[in-house]
Structure 1
């Protein structure tokens, strides 16, 4: 492309953004400043809008000149020489179609810190899209993008800025993204309302989910870069491209991982109001094949925490110390309450949120059942109910296992770590410098160290929940009751059963005893099964 207002043999190269999705520059290059009245001849290689039917038609649209979109080092790598020089030949593709456009001054830099009450200026479409989404991203926890590892390097693109993984779903775009923005503009939705729309969309998923889905976008675009897939073909991604992506990834990780990548791509399409073709054609069969190919990468089943684990942990703790009391209470709450550690403990101090993490100000009720104390702790967030919350129910343990009583452990924690601020996390503990948070990672790390030192079976975070449900099953508690206790929404939790060699015979013999007792009562015989005499 050449500037007709420049001296002869002076070639100027531009990076162009336009609201019309049929327009593509022949190649993206670094922009240079031009007088606002300077007409520019642009060569394009794709179809023009249908209303341009003759060479005399003129297409006017804003030409955005932005030095910040492509680094100078990248431009030098593309061009080899400085961008604008007197000896660079003009770019003349074979018989190009030429339209006339007029340059406009660069727009103001987009805001990125917070969503304003209104956006009064009328920016060009691409900048408006960035402004809207950057404003929405301000609701996420503040963080900086880390330097990518070697396996996570991605080819530079104006559509994929270097941002933290949990922001990729929102801030990574495609040429198709302008359609959703244009549709909102066509309905006269103001920019601050558009920003609020995306901010609300972000609230549908926790940051960990957005971060996990961001990994799927990274792998997909790495695959597309490797195959030189055009940006315009990446969204909406058709079933053939998605099929090739799944086939390429099969055998490199678990099938569940690949499905999670596709879930991230699906959400990315949803954010951009693009159709999704991830369940069409070959894809259902390819996903099943990826499940089989990924079996070598599947982690072995998590073992359950047992009473032996818990007693080893208790022996390692000083239950009269703030940290020891908090750790012991958290362990038994997860075990006896069959709750996820992420529902009881915070992820990190930086990520603490009173909307997601239960605090000491939460509702705790105390009742009695069959002579045992029952504590009910309200959880403000659970994985299955989200912000509707749930209950962690702890029942007093008597007899031989009284040393593993969750009610005593929780009361001990409240007694030692007393008088906290209302917004203190549930299992925070006192320290010389104030209140310290007990995080999930710190809890697991300390527990694993104790269990390894004792030579016990390796455990993971879910092992407390699995071990608690197993103990209740062995005690004869009905699966439906355990399902409600642990916050499962269906009997799918039975996949977590371990020690089936102990559970199944016990369940079978109890069923036999129940049938015999029922028969005895029906026919007026002794209902004491053990007292029955069989000839």
Structure 2
């Protein structure tokens, strides 16, 4: 038997207090039984003082318990808690429909969890149901309740959910390409603060192969220095084989959490250069306050944060006007950047490290294999030709002429 969670006890005490006060009014004590007024010692019937009279020690204990729950919440991100909260809502709705008694909802039995999953199968993706169960598990953890979701019935039903829910899966994200970026460049005036920020952000997530959410904020009020890259971040600059390389730290990433990661940008030497775009943004948006997001911009003498939704809204409108907005989302920049690098021959392991993928599973994001495979084959042939020419003291031009003669 698990004890009641501290916050629940606290709420029970408060409810008990109001209930008792309403049921039985305490008489003001005579002078000989009076005490110094204090919110710690309300006027209540004598038999209630053991529960409702407290001291700074009790308050400190409650504060420490509240801090525990605060830090438990901080262990997950806001977006994760929102996703998990949806699972708790769906579970509650299911229990309400089926008239499941409150006392049976936690700890939820394997039968109840199995029934919940079975009811949801066919209405959404397996990944969605998996997230719902993750939310229920965290809810049980917070309340010190036993989690029985590892039962074999529940596991088997989850496998079924992935199979049956396949039609609900989102279509593959299409990659942003150079065509998209040229269209974006033509539509923007990078001497304008907002456009300069959008252009720099687009090229940073593209060439850096980063998640859009790692470089923009979800909302103006969600920005924190612990989670978001700021204007005050230290940007290092080096020369590698004659090309300028910028690097800066990301405080938080999806795969590493608070350990963060590195965003690395290499100058391309053309109009789609991320280094040039970032420098332009910093020059156009002269902001002395370093405690703002990196891609903040000046809007009528006011600093405005570039949110992910606003970035996508503006860029999607431009792509739509050029008939390019087919399956383009935030992830499309990362996919497009990795595709561009893979196409020109950058090793998959390098792209993996650049984009912060924890394994080569990022190859699942490959799009347009009709470009990648011939390109890889051509590079292999070129390498073999170069090796043959070197061994036989033949220049590549002479080798090409031999091919023509044949």
Match for residue 392 of structure 2 among 525, 529, 535 = 525
Partner of 1:496: 365
Residue 455 of structure 1 and its aligned partner are, at CA, apart by 0.6
- Give the match's secondary structure for 2:367: coil
Alpha-carbon distance in structure 2 between the residues aligned to 1:527 and 1:286: 64
1:204 maps to which of 68, 71, 75:
75
Find out whether 1:413 has 2:287 as its counterpart. no
- 8 Å CA contact 2:316, 2:325 repeated in 1: no
What pairs up with 1:307-456 in 2 under 5 angstroms? 307-398=178-269, 402-456=270-324
Q: Contact between 1:255 and 1:290, CA under 8 Å: does it hold in 2?
A: yes
Matched, 1:215 2:82: no
- Counterparts of 2:99 and 2:287, CA distance in 1: 61
Structure-2 change in CA distance of 1:418 and 1:224 (3 Å): same
**Counterpart pick for 1:120 among 58, 82, 96:** 58
Return the alpha-carbon distance in structure 2 between the equivalents of residues 461 and 119 of structure 1: 50
- Residue by residue over 1:309-348, the C-alpha shift from the partner in whole angstroms, topping out at 9 and shown as x without a partner, is 1111111111111111111000100101111111111111
Give secondary structure in 1 for the equivalent of 2:148: coil
Report what 2:330 is aligned to: 461
Correspondence list, 1:10-409, <5 A: 33-35=22-24, 104=48, 120=58, 190-398=61-269, 402-409=270-277
How far does residue 280 in structure 1 lie from its aligned partner after superposition? 1.4
Q: Give me the whole-angstrom Cα distance separating, in 1, the residues matched to 2:191 and 2:200.
A: 12
Matches of 1:118 and 1:442, distance apart in 2: 48
Q: Which moved more, 1:231-240 or 1:491-500?
A: 231-240
- Counterpart Cα distance in 1 of 2:158 and 2:130: 7
Root-mean-square deviation (CA, aligned residues, Å) is 2.9
Offset of residue 385 of structure 1: 1.7
The Cα of 1:234 is off from its aligned counterpart by 1.3
Deviation per residue, 1:242-261 (Å, 9 max, x gap): 11110000001111110000
Number of residue pairs the alignment of both structures matches: 366
How far apart, CA to CA, are the structure 2 residues paired with 1:118 and 1:315?
Answer: 65
CA contact (8 A) 2:344 2:375 kept: no
CA distance in 1, matches of 2:394, 2:129: 56
Structure 1 residues 106 and 482, CA gap change in structure 2 (3 angstroms): same
Q: Report the Cα distance in structure 2 between the residues aligned to 1:411 and 1:478, rounded to whole angstroms.
A: 28
* Residue-by-residue CA offset, 1:474-525 (whole Å, 9 max, x unaligned): 010001000111111111111111001111232234335445656776xx43
Alpha-carbon distance in structure 1 between the residues aligned to 2:350 and 2:260: 18
Indicate conservation of the 8 Å contact 2:122/2:161, yes or no. yes
- Runs ≥4 residues deviating over 3 A: 30-37, 102-108, 511-521, 524-530, 532-535
Q: CA shift at 1:196, angstroms? A: 1.9
- Matched position secondary structure for 2:222: coil
**1: CA distance, partners of 2:323 / 2:88:** 41
Identify the structure with the greater helix proportion: 2
Under a length normalisation based on structure 2, what TM-score does the superposition of the two structures give? Answer: 0.83
Q: Looking at both structures, which has the greater relative contact order when contacts are Cα pairs under 8 Å and sequence separation is at least 6?
A: 2
Deviation at 1:371, TM superposition (A): 0.9
Q: Secondary structure at the match of 1:391?
A: strand
Distance 1:300 1:252 in 2: 17
Query: 2:220 aligns to what SS in structure 1?
Result: coil
Deviation at 1:291, TM superposition (A): 1.1
Contact 2:180 2:319 in 1 (8 A): yes
Cα deviation, 1:206-228, whole Å, max 9, x if unaligned, reads 11111110000010111111111
Q: From the CA coordinates, give the structure whose radius of gyration is larger.
A: 1
Q: Secondary structure of 1:392's partner? A: strand
